Structure 1
Amino acid sequence: MRRRLLFPLALWLALGRLARAETSDTEPQEQAPPHTTVSMAQMQAALAQRFPLRYPVPGLLNLDLQTPRLQLLPQQNRLGASMAVEAAGPALQRSHQGMFTVDFALRYEASDTTIRAYRLHLSQLQFPSLQPSVVALLNSYAPALAEQALLEVVLYRLRPQDLALADGLGMQPGSLTVTERGVVVGLVPKPL
């Protein structure tokens, strides 16, 4: 019986000494605040499930939006999205391919544990094959189109397993920070 207890105890003591020796040789490191990271691939896959989308302009044209390609913008703490657009309908007489680019901030919605786009900014709308007057007309619809397509769109839903450890520690998602590796979801103590 004593042998069964002595071996794990000796192993535990040896590992403890080894760990103390390693940490005493190195300078103390600042511990990162608790967080979880959502990768670009995770957000892109979640977003792909909601596209393509069609927006009709009655009697004039239809705008078909393809899945956006996301881009991390860590210097601005925002995400960018480039989206292929097809415009077709009676006003255009044929189909035209274009592209629009937006950037947006992120917010966390606690009621359904989602990361959402907000504070949308339309950067660029291009339709190379259209006349400038038609592009000007589309530009008048572009901000509303961008808002309908992406404002408050769910980019990612945190799964129960993403939050299990945080819940166990009495923490919840707080800040969202865009980094080179994805979106870092900072964890903060739950209110009492």
Structure 2
Amino acid sequence: MGAAGLALAFGMGLSACSAMAPGPRTVEVSEARLAEMLARHFPVDTRYMELFDVSLTHPRLRLLPAQNRIATQMDYTLGSALTGGRSLQGLLELSYGLRFEPSDGTLRLDAVRVERFDVPGVPVAQQPRVSRLGGVLAESVLQDAVVHRLRPEQLQTLAGWGYEPGPLQVVPGGVRLTLMPVKR
């Protein structure tokens, strides 16, 4: 998922605020815009521990404002030398929060949790074990994943206006970023 829209919204939202008295400001990005930004990052193809080939496709986003989280459901394909060249396909649903990391100007996934991991064709007795393995794999790959990096000039512009990115909150209809006055 990307947050390029957040960066664009910074300039639009703050240009009107720059002449006002300092105080927290907010910028909102709509659910539709978030879904659009998320779709740009798919498909995802990665190798984990030189053992598993993972492909993630067709992301579907859902906001969970009551928990301040976002859910993303996607299709996956998991291949491994352990399966004799055969791949597993199914459905994966994650939920996660978002956080801004000031040390490198990135927006990252936070507290990633696998909510659902369906593995068609696996015998019912093995389903819980396979689901746990898939959950651990997905959580470890995606925890702290960078979803957007603000360019240094964007951060400098914000700082010049006396602001820095603060908390992100999932609200009905989108995500709200609070821009905090820089402590001087």
TM-score (norm 2): 0.69
Which one has the largest radius of gyration? 1
The question of whether the paired residues in 2 share the 8 Å contact of 1:77 and 1:177 is answered with: yes
Q: Cα deviations across residues 56-103 of structure 1 (Å, max 9, x unaligned)?
A: 5767x6443336333221121111111211134453674332011111
Distance in 2, Cα, partners of 1:119 & 1:147? 9
- Structure with the bigger percentage of strand: 2
Distance in 2, Cα, partners of 1:108 & 1:145? 24
Distance in 1, Cα, partners of 2:50 & 2:74? 22
The question of whether the paired residues in 1 share the 8 Å contact of 2:68 and 2:170 is answered with: yes
Distance in 1, Cα, partners of 2:96 & 2:139? 10
Q: Percent identity?
A: 29
TM-score (norm 1): 0.66
Alignment of 1:37 with 2:28, yes or no, is yes
- Match of residue 177 from structure 2: 185
The partner residue of 1:174 within 152, 163, 166 is 166
Distance in 1, Cα, partners of 2:112 & 2:129? 20
Q: How far did residue 134 of structure 1 move?
A: 4.3
Distance in 1, Cα, partners of 2:146 & 2:48? 22
Distance in 1, Cα, partners of 2:153 & 2:172? 23
User: Residue type of the partner of 1:127?
Assistant: V
Task: Give the secondary structure class of the aligned counterpart of 1:68.
Answer: strand
Alignment of 1:82 with 2:73, yes or no, is yes
Distance in 2, Cα, partners of 1:111 & 1:57? 27
The unaligned stretches of length 5 or more in structure 2 are: 1-22
Matches within 5 A, 1:113-132: 113-132=105-124
Deviating 4+ runs (over 6 angstroms): none
Aligned residues: 160
Q: Which protein, 1 or 2, shows the higher relative CO under an 8 Å CA cutoff with sep ≥ 6?
A: 2
The partner residue of 1:53 within 45, 50, 70 is 45
